[in-house]
Amino acid sequence: MTTTQARQSSARRPVPGRTIRLRILRCDGPGKPSRWETFSIKVESGANIISCLQQVAANPVTADGRATTPVVWDSGCLEEVCGACTMVINGKVRQSCSCLVDEYAPGEGDQITLEPMSKFPVVRDLWVDRSRLFHALRRVKAWVPIDGTYHLGHGPRESPDAQATRYVLSECMSCGCCLEACPQYNVEPDASAWDTSFIGAHAISQARLFNMHPTGRQLAGERLEALAGPGGVNDCGNAQNCVKVCPKHIPLTESIAAIGRQSTVHAIASWFARG
């Protein structure tokens, strides 16, 4: 079902010039207690969560008229290609920029709930620290090991089908939706545990992407070994939540299966090589 169809099927006509309520789970910093605060927002047509939060920043007063601090959140491109503004909205993880108020709160007084992602340590309010996610990309050596940047001619030729497969995988914007939805992935503030705790679907899929590339493949063995140990591909519990929440529709479960197969083949090959 396309976005348009989904929208039309669930359509309740948005009330123009209405006021909605934004209920936000707040926290002043690591180790500080959390609290709920609700804000009344007058919305115009085309409003999204970002434009609502911008109103709160300019005028941080709660629905019951109490002055408070502005809500802190992370954002960047506002067109769902940078991944920054990911949060939990009405219980479901997604980017807040593409979350339209007309869909989520079409009626006067409708409420939208915002929470920070729960699988990463909170920095403040809706802003979480996703360093572990980028660490995972180092863990699987998510790059093509080129021979430097001097001119050495073009890269490998590629069929349109292979390009199409790689392109979809390469659209991963490291937002963390797949990790928030994963029952196997839990908050881990201790960076020294990041090399052995579950790496998550996004990094497994990136390993598949680079293992597909003719030059990237040179590191395939190292990637598969990194994914064979604790916190690797075998820790996946096959809940398949990741693929359902991926905003870029990346076939994450296919990637996990592909890397699972590659790992098995690699393990057998290494075993024979040792013998």
Closest CA to 93 of 199, 226, 247: 247
> Given the complex with another protein, which of 184 and 262 has the nearer CB atom?
262
Nearer to another protein, 12 or 138 (CB): 138
Min separation Cβ 163 and another protein, Å: 5
86 is written with which tokens? 């990911």
Q: Tokens 């669930």 map to which residue?
A: 10
For residues 42 and 52, give the distance between their C-alpha atoms in angstroms, rounded to a whole number. Answer: 8
Nearer to another protein, 28 or 235 (CB): 28
Beta-carbon count within 10 A of 226 CB? 21
Which of residues 201 and 209 has its CB atom nearest to another protein in the complex? Answer: 209
Q: Which of 212, 217, 204, 209 is nearest to 260 (CA)?
A: 204
To another protein, the closest distance from the beta carbon of 259 in angstroms equals: 18
Q: How far apart are CA 130 and CA 35, in angstroms?
A: 22
Instruction: Look up residue 238 and give its DSSP letter.
Output: -
Least spacing, CB of residue 156 vs another protein, in Å: 8
φ, ψ at 189 (rounded to 5°)? -70, -20
The amino acid at 164: A
Closest to another protein by CB, 48 vs 184, is 48
- State the minimum distance, in angstroms, from the CB of residue 140 to another protein: 11
Distance between CA atoms of residues 234 and 225, nearest Å: 12
Opening angle at CA 206, ends 246 and 198, nearest 5: 75
CA pair distance 89, 94, nearest whole angstrom? 7
| Residue 186 C-beta: closest distance to another protein, Å | 22
Phi, psi of 240 (to 5 degrees): 65, 20
DSSP reduced 3-state for 95:
strand
Smaller CB separation from another protein, 232 or 247:
247
CB-wise, 144 or 240, nearer to another protein?
A: 144
DSSP symbol at 67: B
Q: What is the nearest approach in angstroms of another protein to the Cβ of residue 111?
A: 19
Cβ 43 to another protein shortest distance, Å: 8
